[in-house]
Amino acid sequence: LRIRRAVLEATLRSRNDFHTAFSEFEDWLDRIAGNLAELERFTANSQSLKDTAKRREWMQMHKAPSSLQELETELNAHESVLRTVEEMGRKLGAGLDSGKERAEIQNRLEAVSQRWKDVKRTEISVRDRLVEAEQEWEKLTKTLSSLLSWVEDKSKEMLAQQPVGGSLSAVMAQGAWMKNTEKEMEMKGIQVRETITNAHSFLMQHDLRPKMYRTGVLADEDEPGII
């Protein structure tokens, strides 16, 4: 009788421990799912994704309760908790005499496992959106920086050609430099126009577009501006 009572008490403790751990995990998963749903709603708006400050806040701001980085950390930390709870449920179910209670536990385990998969899927979707938007912004700024650096280098080279004229060898060297520079400008022209167009599109999405837009000094004189 004492042994039977001890077994029953142990089973009861195990059952209570499982339900307590399971309920706490469900509460945590509810909170994470809510935060991710909010992030998904924000990032589904392409206009919001173009906002660099908001995008980086969502990705990196540790203190924000709904930041992506914090959510990723919590998800990774709780994956082992999920496995522990599942193992507790399986062991508890295997030791139960009641088929109904065993089925209820199994259903709860399957439901929380599916919710976990849904949350992970949402987290990946949100992260991909943010990373793609960040890469687009970084590509644009790097290209602009590269082009500005090229213009500055050419400006310095042009100043180094002065004074114009002089000896025959100096004139020939200056002529060769001009030809090479003109070729480089022709090659850079397409990239310059594409980059300015992309930058203008970015500004328009932020409602920061200038009143008059031209593709730049490399554009043809008769090329119309965009208002």
CATH of residue 95: 1.20.58.60
Q: pLDDT value at position 174?
A: 83
Whether pLDDT at 132 is above 90:
no
Instruction: State the burial class of residue 107 (Cβ atoms within 10 Å of its Cβ: 0-12, 13-18, 19+).
Output: exposed
Q: Count of domains in the chain?
A: 2
Banded pLDDT at 205 (limits 50, 70, 90): low
Amino acid type, 89: G
Provide the percentage of residues in the chain whose pLDDT is more than 70.
72
Question: Quick one: 119 and 150 in the same domain?
Answer: no
Q: For residue 137, is it within any domain?
A: no
Q: pLDDT value at position 65?
A: 42
Question: Quick one: 96 and 29 in the same domain?
Answer: yes
Q: For residue 48, is it within any domain?
A: yes
Question: Quick one: 12 and 73 in the same domain?
Answer: yes
Amino acid type, 35: N
Cα gap 64→31, rounded to integer Å? 14
Whether pLDDT at 4 is above 60:
no
Closest CA to 39 of 50, 47, 30, 49: 49
Reduce the secondary structure of 97-125 to three states and give it as a string: CCHHHHHHHHHHHHHHHHHHHHHHHHHHH
Q: For residue 112, is it within any domain?
A: yes
Q: For residue 223, is it within any domain?
A: no
Q: pLDDT value at position 118?
A: 92
Q: What's the mean pLDDT in 5-23?
A: 66
pLDDT tens-place string over residues 105-130: 888 889 989 999 999 898 888 888 87
Whether pLDDT at 151 is above 80:
yes
Question: Quick one: 18 and 85 in the same domain?
Answer: yes
Cα gap 56→58, rounded to integer Å? 5
Whether pLDDT at 45 is above 60:
yes
Cα gap 118→21, rounded to integer Å? 21
Cα gap 156→151, rounded to integer Å? 9
pLDDT tens-place string over residues 173-195: 888 888 898 888 888 888 888 88
Residue 91: give the domain boundaries.
Answer: 1-132
Whether pLDDT at 103 is above 70:
yes
Q: Cite the DSSP H helix spans in 44-162.
A: 46-49, 52-60, 68-94, 99-160
Q: In this predicted model, which residue has the larger pLDDT, 170 or 222?
A: 170
Amino acid type, 195: T
Closest CA to 44 of 145, 117, 155, 122: 122
Q: pLDDT value at position 59?
A: 65
Q: For residue 68, is it within any domain?
A: yes
Question: Quick one: 165 and 118 in the same domain?
Answer: no
Q: For residue 210, is it within any domain?
A: no
CA distances from 225 to 102, 119, 197 (A): 73, 48, 11
Provide the percentage of residues in the chain whose pLDDT is more than 90.
2
Q: Give the three-state DSSP class for 158.
A: helix
Question: Quick one: 111 and 42 in the same domain?
Answer: yes
Whether pLDDT at 223 is above 70:
no
Hunting for tokens 């030809």 — which residue is that? Answer: 179
